[in-house]
Each structure stands twice: as structure tokens, then as C-alpha cells.
Amino acid sequence: MFARETFMYSVVLSQYHKLYQKYTLTEYIAPKCYYVCRDPGREVLVMRDMRFEGYQPFLNSMFVDYDHMVVALESLAQFHAYSFIMKELEKSTYDEAIKVCQPVSRETHGRFLQVLQDRLDKALLKFEATKYVPVLENLKKNCAIFIEDFSKTDRTCICHGDLWKENILFKYKDNVPTSACLIDYQNACVACPAFDVLYLIASSTDTALRKTHFRHMLDIYYDKFSSSLIEAKLDPNKLYPQTSLYSDLQVVGPACFIIANTALWLASGLQEDGHVRSMRVWNTAEEKAMALKSYKCLIKTLIDDFYSYGYLCMCGKSGCMHKPTS
């Protein structure tokens, strides 16, 4: 993970800055990397503190609102577009990147898959004797397959791999977010762009926002992605048409839910042990009970929303429109 992160900051994002200057693109905002040491036991990554540029984390609630999601999606769209630009115009750097940021698989991300399955086990315990058990069981059984699927679409690029609101900094003017800075590239990987898009929406918005703006949020992402490629005189309809985005969303749906379940369990303050623990600490049984109730509501509505999009079904397969009965 450290190797991927240092490579992203020192090589890939540095190359993005060169692309911005060489092809007169709209700038992709990222922290400048000053120094890297990869020696075992002496690992160091020194980079610009973006607070000095006016960026700060969103701490108001577990989920962002529409205005924050707009700038986050636009920044993600630029990140993906720059990857396609690099692939087309600076291929040697892209070829180097895909060797470091390998697709997620059982061989390269075994521990990560174990964590995902453990969180599905926890979800199954909390949803015992409900109509959601079959889909959760199938997601657990085929977890590795679904996770590997999001790197097997026809068109891939360098993806962030873990983009939720905890890994985004925002800049404001008159209390309105004007831009976003993506951070923490430890899980960067070659994957389908649709994965980052859907995972960001699934993990960082509530069901009310999704019900009102889901299709619009996809359009915001693609409009920015398309305009960024056009700036480099590349054709988005050849590199990654909007129809491919929509079809890929069905492929990556199960993986996005699986990883979002892990993020929401963590954000709800329910992970009390292990290497990565919840930042929130609940001190009373009542607080823990309320947190668990909130988590179950979030997962229930996320499953229901994914059913309505056609990304999940009761058997856990993507693209099936069978919805759970009341």
C-alpha cells in the first residue's frame, strides 16, 4: 500500500501536473510531493499540507450534500480523464503505472478481501432472519469474484480505489464548496472508472440524495470527464462513451456495495478491534445500539437503492431486476 501511495504522489500525480502544463488543461488539484524514502523501516512521504491552500475535510455529518458531491465528482472525473490522457499521450508512464497499481485480485489483495468478507459476516449477523440474508450470503460467497470483476471491463484506467468522503478535502467560498482535492491513494489500481464513481456515491451520500439526484450525479461526472478529454483533443466517445459508463455500473455494482458496507461499518463506529478501527468511540450500550440501528438502516436503503438501479438482486448478481418483497 505504501509503495502504491508513494508511486502515485511522486510519479503519477507529478505526471498529471506536466500534462496540465504541456496540453493547457484544467488543473487537477493534488498535493505536491516533496520527498519519498522507501527504505524498509524508514518509510517517509513528505507532501504539501493542503490546509495552506484552503482545503479541509468535511466533518459536518457522515454524508455529504449535493454541492459537495458535485465538486467531488468533478475532481474524480478529472483524475480519470488525466489517466486516459496519459495512456494516449504519455504511454510509457502509464505502462509503468499499471505495473505498480495492479488490478485487485486474490493474489495481490488477499488481506483486503478477508476484511471485506469479515464485514459481510458482521452484516449477516445484524440482518439475521430478514429478507436481506440471501443477497448478503451470495455477496460473501462470491466476494472475490465480484471484486475482481471491476477490473475486467473493456475500458480501464488508474482508479483511486477507495474514494469516499473521508479521502476528500474541500475548498470553500462563502461557505459553498468550490473544489475538491482527492487524497490517500493507497488502494490505487487499474480498474473500471465506473467503480470509483458508484463507490463514491454509495459510500458518501444518503438515500434521499440518491433518490433525487442519482442520474444527475452520473451526468455531472461524465460531462466533466468528457470536457477534460476534449481539452486534450481526445474523443471521449472513442475512449469511454457514456453508454459504457452506464453498462459498467451494472458490472461493478456488487463490488461497490461490498466495499461500501465495510466503509459504513467503520464510519458508524462499530469496528472496535483490528488494524483499522473506527475513529468514533461509543461509551455506552445505548450509544452502540443507536449506532447499530443507524448502520442497519443505511445498509437496508443502500441495498434497496441498488435493486432499483438494477445493480443487485436477491441472488446477489449484477444486472438482475428482481427486487425483495415487502
In sequence order, the β-bridge partners of residue 158 are: 190
Residue 271, pLDDT score: 76
Q: Which residues make Cβ contacts (< 8 Å) with residue 98, sequence separation at least 6?
A: 158, 190
Question: Cα dist. 224→71, 143, 325 in Å?
Answer: 10, 32, 38
Do the domain assignments include residue 314? Answer: no
- The domain of 154 spans 2-309
Higher-confidence residue of 205 and 267: namely 205
Do the domain assignments include residue 322? Answer: no
Largest CA distance in the chain: 59
User: pLDDT confidence of 1, banded at 50, 70, 90?
Assistant: confident
DSSP 121-190: HHHHHHTTTSTTHHHHHHHHHTHHHHHHHTT-SSS-EEE-S--SGGGEEEEEETTEEEEEEE---TT-EE
Residue 320, pLDDT score: 56
What mean pLDDT, rounded, does the chain reach?
A: 92
CATH of the domain at 302: 3.90.1200
Residue 275, pLDDT score: 66
In sequence order, the β-bridge partners of residue 172 are: 177
Do the domain assignments include residue 316? Answer: no
Dist CA 266 CA 215 (whole Å) = 27
Amino acid code (one letter) for 317? K
The total of structural domains in the chain comes to: 1
Q: What are phi and psi of 288, to 5 degrees?
A: -65, -40
Do the domain assignments include residue 254? Answer: yes
Do the domain assignments include residue 325? Answer: no
pLDDT at 317 over 70: no
Do the domain assignments include residue 162? Answer: yes
Mean pLDDT of 48-58: 96
pLDDT at 325 over 50: no
pLDDT at 167 over 50: yes
The predicted model scores a pTM of 0.94
Do the domain assignments include residue 127? Answer: yes
- Tens-digit pLDDT profile for residues 24-48: 999 999 999 999 998 988 999 999 9
Q: CB–CB of 135/315 below 8 Å? A: yes
Do the domain assignments include residue 111? Answer: yes
